[in-house]
Chains A and B, each alone.
Chain A
Amino acid sequence: MRFCNDAWLVALGGALLLAAGPSRACAQSLAPSDLLKPPADSWPLYHGDYSGRRHSPLKQINTRNVGGLSLAWAFQSNQGAQIKSSPLLVDGVLFFTVPDNVWAVDARSGHMIWHYHRPSKGEHIGHRGVAMYKGWVYFTTPDCHLISLNAKDGTVHWDKVFADTKQGYWSTMAPLVVGNHVVVGVGGDLDNLPGLLASLDPETGEIQWKWESTPPTGTLNATTGGTTWITGTYDPELNLIYWGTGNPTPVLNGNTRPGDDAYTCSIVAINPDTGKLAWGFVVSPHDTHDWDAVEIPVLVDANFHGQPRKMLMQAARNGYFFVLDRATGKSLLTVPYGPVNWALGLDKLGRPIPNPDKEPLPDGRLIAPDEGGMTNFRSPSFDPRTGLFIVDAHPSYSLYFSKPADGTYGWAGADYGLWGKGVIEAIDYQTGKVRWTHEVGPGGSGAGVLTTDSGLTFTGDAVGNVLALDTSNGKTLWHAGLGDAMESSPITYELDGRQYLLTASGGVLFAWALPQNSSAPHPALQH
């Protein structure tokens, strides 16, 4: 992304290139190979990179100077919708979304470059962001169109339909670009429909393959469901994408879908070139509590109990933390990370065994966690320095009901949250033990988590504070009250030698940085 192709570079000559500056020379363009090792002045994927760790090597903002962090700029979307997207940064321009809307904003100043608006039917529950390939931005819509926009001006390049909104599908997710594939997923658990992933050609929008989570609607004794509404991760060596799938349907009534209900509430590994399943791991066999397993499948290469491993970690909505071998899909560790009361134990595959008496019943069952789950779609972060998996957790209790009159279509029951709170938890991935906790308030926080190599953890609390914590012990080092809850996951990048932290609260995007004349640690603090 920093350099255009060599022939052009030579033809133009070095002087002109230097005058224009490397990143200006091919503005807003992203080669697929750049995604394999994103430079520090970019955040070119939903997760920042393919691993899903939401961890940055940047160190300018550190534990000693973070107390001086201040506002660099703010961007007012002037929309009622909360910003739930994770922005992309490519060649100095940020791209982010709310349903029906995409903005391109200057990452240095926060001023708007272009705004794309497309009113549409379908669920407007939220929007997670865009993806990029070369000079194109990819945007999903509530009515399941994938729209390719010109990154320079937001004009439409092409517009393709990848799922039928009449059947009940919608889409909110940020696509994943792998090689010459744009992979998109769907929401749609108000109806009995199979979840699906579709891969489209980034140049033409042609469908390359589709993968369905379950057998077709109407298959005897089979489930539907398994939506695919959060961006997956990718291992280039194994050439597999990893994706979490949503709850089965009917949601709260499992009677018509006996068994595990694969591959709903699962992590699946899929070849991005063929759409073929390599393996699947059911995180919540026979779910009856709406616990989508779409939480980020985080990829970590490290030792596990003394042995080097290619791992996949997920803090799942059902209350369990999973470590898998991502080459085989075999379980290495399954441990609850908060109160859970719905399982009888673990089976020999490392999966929780659902307690039949904790399925929703006419007179109600007390269930932990609640339907929002022990965590939800906002990203956790893995800090390689400490080996901590840091997640915004939500210990909670609720009542679940289902009776024959609720039927076997869509929701098929009723549930009511009773109580919950937010706790940032730092989980040791070797044991599942929680090394520290940091309470973030009643009801819980919707904030995602970002860690940096300088030992910082950025997240938010339940009342609208953005927080910087010390990754080693969870203590607060900095905060700012922003007047609305943070419903997104933070990102960070460096431009012109200055590190920025980006957080969204309500409909406003905030960029934070150290004051420009003191971006180095204060001399008094230097050792």
Chain B
Amino acid sequence: MLRFSAVGAVICCLVLSRSQLAIHAAATLSPRPLALAANPAEESDGAKAYAANCAICHGDHREGNLPAFPPLLGVVHHLSDPQITELVHKGQGRMPGIPDIQGADLVGLLHFLHTEEETAIKPSGAETAGQPASAHAEAGRDLFQQNCAFCHGRDAMGGETGPDLTRSKTVLADRDGDAISQVVREGRPEKKMPAFNFSAPELEGLAAFIHGQVTAAEENKGGRRGVDVADLQTGNRDAGKRYFDGPGGCTKCHSSSGDLAGVATRLQGLALEERMLYPRGAKSSVAVTLPSGQTVAGTLAYLDEFTVALRDSTGSYHSWQTAKVKYKVDSPAEAHVDLFGKYTDADIHNLMAYMQTLR
């Protein structure tokens, strides 16, 4: 599915500093972030099924009681839903089968097992009420689930269309929520992210939630979701260089000692690979011939069927109706589009290995 819209409920919440939040998040979030529940407070079906059937052996908080009863926190890392279901229904060793857990109870239980520790060890209402940190993060979480989760994932670690926010440069550089708020308020039209009209407290809540997720993700060294630099090391450097110099045709525009010198110090991992495959936002030039015969050249500033515009060497903007002029656009980045139909995945991985030597 795709695309979203912004209608947010107004949520009042208290302000807290990022450092307070980080401490709170580190203390309560699981070291293994997983798909978060839409709203942990609503997880009653699964939590009830767990409490009624499983807690007696595996603990109220899924902590287990070793050596006899294994903890179930993180059980979804080594067992799939069908495997868990089979275990629940048939039992194993001294664990009895409970074939009666079916339908909504079963779905709820599986959902519950996928939730984080925080859900399992949620403080009681009285404790929560006295903690501004929790209210703040929860308010941000609710807003995030309604408006952001579809694209960025329930845990902010990436989803449909939207990038992993816990690796976002904007998020990592953000202090006090200002940078995050700006992106949310203004959107990213070039990437089709819409703008959202949230209040200042709503934005603070959102930022608090996202920063909490960064902390949670960072705690999960070695088992992190998404794309790590280490994942992109399967190519062969020499084969990549041969492709660069030969069939790729890269040297028509690029040079390893010229424009690409040091590229691997400027960009790493996925950012480098994306840039290598298509330089988003690369400039095109245009030459416009007016009815008088005069030609105006510059950087292409706008083009649709009806209007062509450029910025000239002084930075001034000029536009014309396409029907009234002749124009010629030169888009060097189009060469990257031509390559999409020709690459093998190995070509890409090899090129990536070679690019990473250009330090």
Contacts and interface: CB of A to CB of B under 8 A. Distances in A.
**Does B bind A?**
yes
Contacts of B270: 399, 416
B6 interface: yes
A218 B82 contact: yes
B77 interface: yes
B62 interface: no
A363 B351 CA distance: 13
Interface stretch (A7-15, A41-49, A151-159, A183-191): A183-191
A246 interface: yes
A166 B160 contact: no
A364 B5 contact: no
Contacts of A84: 3, 5
Contacts of B345: 357, 363-366
B104 A164 contact: yes
A407 interface: yes
B86 A220 contact: yes
A367 B233 CA distance: 19
Contact of A79 (B7, B304, B341): B7
Given A124-B146, A256-B81, A80 B195 contact: yes
B2 A372 contact: yes
B336 A99 contact: no
B169 to A, nearest CB: 15
Interface stretch (A67-75, A115-123, A305-313, A508-516): A115-123
A25 B280 CA distance: 58
A416 B158 CA distance: 10
A478 B81 CA distance: 54
A332 interface: no
A408 B142 CA distance: 24
Nearest to B10: A119
Name A's interface SS: loop
A401 B273 CA distance: 13
Interface in A400-449: 401, 403, 405-411, 414, 416-419, 441, 443, 446
Contact of A403 (B7, B107, B231, B340): B231
Contact of A411 (B76, B153, B227, B349): B153
Contacts of A351: none
Interface in A465-524: 465, 467, 476, 479, 481, 487
B39 interface: yes
Contact of B194 (A82, A217, A227, A362): A82
B348 A366 contact: yes
B114 to A, nearest CB: 5
B232 interface: yes
Nearest to B83: A220
A339 B341 contact: yes
A411 B159 contact: yes
B123 interface: no
A126 B146 contact: no
A123 B86 contact: no
B277 interface: yes
B85 interface: yes
A256 B149 contact: no
Contacts of B159: 190, 411
A62 interface: no
A336 interface: no
Contacts of B76: 407-409
Contact of B35 (A409, A414, A441): A409
A80 B7 CA distance: 7
A526 interface: no
Nearest to A125: B4
A168 B38 contact: yes
A219 interface: yes
B3 A100 contact: no
For chain B, give the interface size range.
Answer: 35 or more
A21 B106 CA distance: 57
B78 to A, nearest CB: 10
A406 B225 contact: yes
A216 interface: yes
B192 interface: yes
Interface in B214-231: 223-227, 231
A409 B304 contact: no
A219 B304 CA distance: 51
Given A80-B195, A98-B5, A99-B7, A419 B340 contact: yes
B231 A401 contact: yes
Contacts of A409: 34-35, 76, 81, 114
Contacts of A214: none
Contacts of A204: none
A219 B197 CA distance: 42
B111 A127 contact: no
Contact of A121 (B86, B104, B146, B277): B146
Interface string B77-93: 10011111110100000
Contacts of B226: 401, 406, 414
Interface in A136-184: 142, 164-168
Contacts of B197: 80
Given A80-B7, A410-B154, A124 B343 contact: no
Contacts of A389: none
Nearest to A215: B82
B304 A166 contact: no
Interface in A31-90: 79-82, 84
A193 interface: yes
Contacts of A122: 38, 146
A331 interface: no
Interface in A318-349: 339, 341
B163 A416 contact: yes
B215 to A, nearest CB: 18
Contacts of A103: none
B121 to A, nearest CB: 20
B77 A407 contact: yes
Nearest to B44: A166
Contacts of B35: 190-191, 407, 409-411
Given A218-B106, A372-B161, A414-B227, A127 B84 contact: no
Given A99-B7, A409-B114, A218 B81 contact: yes
A243 B266 CA distance: 49
B304 A463 contact: yes
Interface string B184-218: 00000000101111000000000000000000000
B106 A217 contact: yes
A419 B273 contact: no
B81 A192 contact: yes
Interface in B114-157: 114, 142, 145-147, 149-150, 153-154
A412 to B, nearest CB: 9
Contacts of A443: 192
A231 to B, nearest CB: 14
Interface in A443-457: 443, 446
Nearest to A257: B82
Given A124-B5, A368-B340, 18 more contacts: A80-B6, A80-B197, A100-B7, A125-B1, A142-B146, A166-B38, A167-B104, A190-B149, A216-B107, A217-B106, A218-B81, A224-B81, A363-B234, A366-B345, A371-B161, A407-B35, A409-B34, A409-B35
21 contacts: A80-B6, A119-B9, A121-B39, A124-B7, A125-B3, A142-B146, A167-B104, A167-B111, A217-B110, A218-B106, A220-B85, A221-B82, A224-B81, A363-B232, A368-B341, A372-B2, A401-B227, A401-B231, A407-B76, A407-B77, A465-B304
Interface of B: 1-9, 34-35, 38-39, 42-45, 76-77, 80-86, 88, 102-104, 106-108, 110-111, 114, 142, 145-147, 149-150, 153-154, 158-161, 163-164, 192, 194-197, 223-227, 231-235, 270, 273-274, 277-278, 280, 304-306, 336-337, 340-341, 343, 345, 348-349
**A-B interface, 9 closest residue pairs, ranked by CB to CB distance from nearest:** A218-B85, A81-B5, A125-B4, A220-B82, A80-B6, A363-B234, A256-B80, A410-B35, A397-B340
